[in-house]
Amino acid sequence: MDQEQLKQQIKQLAGERNALLIAHNYQRDEVQEIAEITGDSLALSMAAANTGKQVIVFCGVHFMAESAAILAPEKTVLLPRADAGCPMADMITAEQLRAFKAEHPGATVVTYVNSSAAVKAESDICCTSSNAVNVARSLDSDTLLMVPDRNLGRYIAGHVPEKDCICWDGFCPTHDRLKVEEVKQAKAEHPDALFMAHPECTPEILELADHICSTSGMYEFARRSPVRKFIVGTENGILWRLKIDNPEKEFIMPSQALVCPNMKLTSLEDILLCLQTLEPRIRVAADIREKAKRSLDRMLAVPRD
Q: Using CA atoms of 169, 296, 84, 19 in order, give the dihedral in degrees to the nearest 10.
A: -170
305 in a domain, yes or no? no
258 in a domain, yes or no? no
**Structural domain count, the chain:** 3
Tens of pLDDT, residue by residue over 108-161, are 999 999 999 999 999 999 999 989 999 999 999 999 999 999 999 999 999 999
Alpha-carbon span 91 to 124, nearest angstrom: 19
Mean pLDDT, residues 36-65 taken together: 93
**pLDDT for residue 24 is more than 90:** yes
Same domain, 28 and 55: yes
Same domain, 120 and 71: no
Same domain, 188 and 129: no
Mean pLDDT, residues 182-201 taken together: 98
67 in a domain, yes or no? yes
pLDDT of residue 132: 94
Same domain, 120 and 137: yes
Q: Which domain holds residue 70?
A: 3-85+263-284
**pLDDT for residue 304 is more than 80:** no
Alpha-carbon span 207 to 61, nearest angstrom: 29
Tens of pLDDT, residue by residue over 70-88, are 999 999 999 999 999 999 9
pTM for this model (two decimals): 0.94
Same domain, 139 and 156: yes
Radius of gyration (Cα) for the chain, nearest Å? 19
257 in a domain, yes or no? no
* CATH number of 245's domain: 3.40.50.10800
Tens of pLDDT, residue by residue over 251-286, are 999 999 999 999 999 999 999 999 999 999 999 999
User: Order of strands across the sheet with 143-147?
Assistant: 125-127, 108-112, 143-147, 164-167
Other beta carbons within 10 angstroms of residue 29's beta carbon come to 14
Same domain, 293 and 145: yes
Cis amide leading into 280 (omega within 30): yes
Alpha-carbon span 69 to 160, nearest angstrom: 32
